[in-house]
């Protein structure tokens, strides 16, 4: 028997109007009639790390905001729903970005959803396999350049001046407007702002957007929220008095790709965390404002520390993220242990991308874990009993 037409009424399922533009329409630069290009992004889990906290021996309330649970597996979808919605509204037929992988996957998906074209520039051989598969499957034109992200970004800016293409990197202000909603959700989920918010920093758009969101939730005097946002020239129409405090913002970079720690851009960034293999961050000034205004700091973690946290989060908490995302855990754990983040703090780490994005790095972390045996009862039993 097929489903009856009135199944929805029988089950009392409300009409689902998901996606962050619909949810936060009055806190985003969209009109009531703007058609949202959405894949029902946002509304991601905030998961408390019970096991890792227990191991720490320091009383702490430690959480991850699991942004890998967005439709294309990364936080980029929050910005992309806004950027593509506005591009379509303004009549654009094609979008372009440079990417270390996740932006290209997200741009490709939202362009497919909107029925427009996407061109993505990625560093040849330096993007994780899952991300490349996504960009290709969604039908974007994938252009691998013999160069790094920073060179790709430079090319995109130059080419977009000569062709009818909308840039959807985070220099597009709508990207950060969408991404700020992550802070709205954390405030709703915790019922307050956390004391510390830790996250990976590459191009530095996301730390800026997080801070914009928190600043809008806790309006300062005369509606000025933060210098990290220039969207409304200092008079923020989205400022609210939802909470009284804002978190300290802590940004971590890979040691081989750490311009914020060096204090200047670097020529040849290198790290296993390919998503944040960036030497010339586009949101440099904004991110410094976020850091200064929140009394925060930037620090760096080695590839070894990143991979250790990558594995720890998967093994101890069942949360699988990509290497770049794990840097927020690596850094936070170090700063909790050394007291920079004091005991009894509430800490949120943004886990920016899903682990399935980069299966190669994950598998290389598990050497010796694959047991291959003959298809016989005794050999399989032995493999089980030896490991009980
Ligand atoms: N984590 C992941 C998984 C990312 O993909 C990125 C950036 C970041 C963190 C850093 O965020 O750039 O706002 O500081 N990925 C971009 C891309 C550069 O092209 O996918 P950011």
Fill in the DSSP letter of residue 251: E
Q: Tell me the pLDDT band of 8, cut-offs 50, 70 and 90.
A: low
Q: How many residues does the chain have?
A: 388
Ligand 1 geometric centre to CA of 216 (Å):
23
Q: How far apart are CA 277 and CA 275, in angstroms?
A: 6
Name residues contacting ligand 1 (CB within 6 A): 74, 76, 99-103, 170, 200-206, 275-276, 322, 324-325, 352-353
Other C-beta atoms lying within 10 Å of the C-beta of residue 240? 15
Closest approach atom of ligand 1 to CA 103:
20
- Report residue 2's pLDDT band, with 50, 70 and 90 as the boundaries: very low
d(CA 321, CA 67): 9
- Give the atom of ligand 1 at the shortest distance from the alpha carbon of 278: 18
Give me the percent of the chain exceeding a pLDDT of 90: 91
Please give the distance, rounded to the nearest whole angstrom, from the Cα atom of residue 364 to the centre of ligand 1.
22
Average pLDDT score over the chain: 94
Three-class SS state of 49: coil
| Residue 365 pLDDT > 70 | yes
C-alpha to C-alpha distance for 69 and 362, rounded to whole angstroms = 18
For residue 322, the CA-to-ligand 1 centroid distance in Å is 11
| Closest C-alpha among 114, 136, 115 to residue 127 | 136
Check: CB of residue 210 under 8 Å from CB of residue 225.
no
**Pocket test residue of 79, 98, 99, 100 for ligand 1, highest count of atoms within 8 A of CB:** 100
Convert the pLDDT of each residue in 308-353 to its tens digit. 999 999 999 999 999 999 999 999 999 999 999 999 999 999 999 9
So what's the pLDDT on residue 225? 77
Neighbours of 273 (CB within 10 A): 30
Question: Using one digit for the tens of pLDDT, what is the confidence trace for 143-171?
Answer: 999 999 999 999 999 999 999 999 999 99
| pLDDT at res. 36 | 97
pTM for the structure as a whole: 0.95
**Placement of tokens 């013999």 in the chain:** 146
When pLDDT is averaged across residues 219-238 and rounded to a whole number, the result is 79
């Amino acid at each position: 028997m097929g489903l009856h037409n009135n199944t929805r009424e029988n089950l009392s399922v409300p009409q689902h109007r998901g996606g962050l533009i619909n949810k936060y329409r009055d806190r985003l630069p969209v009109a009531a009639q703007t058609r949202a290009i959405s894949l029902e992004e946002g509304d991601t889990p905030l998961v408390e790390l019970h096991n890792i906290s227990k191991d720490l021996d320091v009383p702490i309330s430690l959480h991850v905001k699991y942004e890998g649970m967005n439709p294309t597996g990364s936080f980029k979808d929050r910005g992309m729903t806004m950027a593509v919605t506005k591009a379509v509204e303004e009549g654009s037929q094609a979008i372009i970005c440079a990417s270390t992988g996740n932006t290209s996957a997200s741009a490709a998906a939202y362009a497919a959803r909107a029925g427009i074209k996407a061109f993505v520039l990625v560093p040849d051989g330096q993007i994780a396999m899952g991300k490349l598969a996504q960009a290709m499957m969604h039908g974007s034109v994938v252009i691998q350049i013999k160069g790094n992200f920073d060179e790709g970004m430079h090319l995109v800016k130059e080419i977009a001046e000569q062709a009818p293409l909308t840039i959807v990197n985070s220099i597009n202000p709508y990207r950060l407007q969408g991404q700020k909603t992550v802070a709205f959700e954390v405030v709703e989920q915790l019922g307050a702002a956390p004391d510390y918010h830790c996250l990976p920093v590459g191009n530095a758009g996301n730390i800026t957007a997080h801070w914009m969101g928190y600043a809008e939730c806790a309006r300062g005097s005369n509606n000025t929220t933060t210098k990290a946002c220039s969207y409304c020239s200092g008079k923020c129409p989205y400022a609210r008095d939802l909470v009284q405090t804002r978190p300290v913002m802590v940004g971590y970079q890979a040691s081989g790709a750490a311009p914020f720690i060096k204090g200047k851009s670097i020529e040849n960034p290198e790290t296993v965390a390919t998503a944040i293999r960036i030497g010339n961050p586009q949101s440099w000034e904004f991110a410094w404002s976020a850091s200064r205004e929140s009394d925060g700091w930037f620090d760096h973690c080695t590839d070894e520390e990143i991979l250790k946290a990558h594995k720890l989060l998967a093994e101890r908490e069942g949360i699988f993220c990509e290497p770049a995302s794990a840097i927020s855990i690596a850094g936070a754990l170090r700063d909790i242990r050394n007291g920079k983040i004091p005991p009894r703090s509430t800490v949120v780490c943004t886990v920016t991308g899903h682990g399935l994005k980069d299966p190669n790095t994950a598998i290389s972390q598990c050497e010796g874990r694959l047991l291959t045996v003959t298809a016989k009862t005794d050999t399989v039993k032995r493999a089980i009993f030896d490991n009980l």
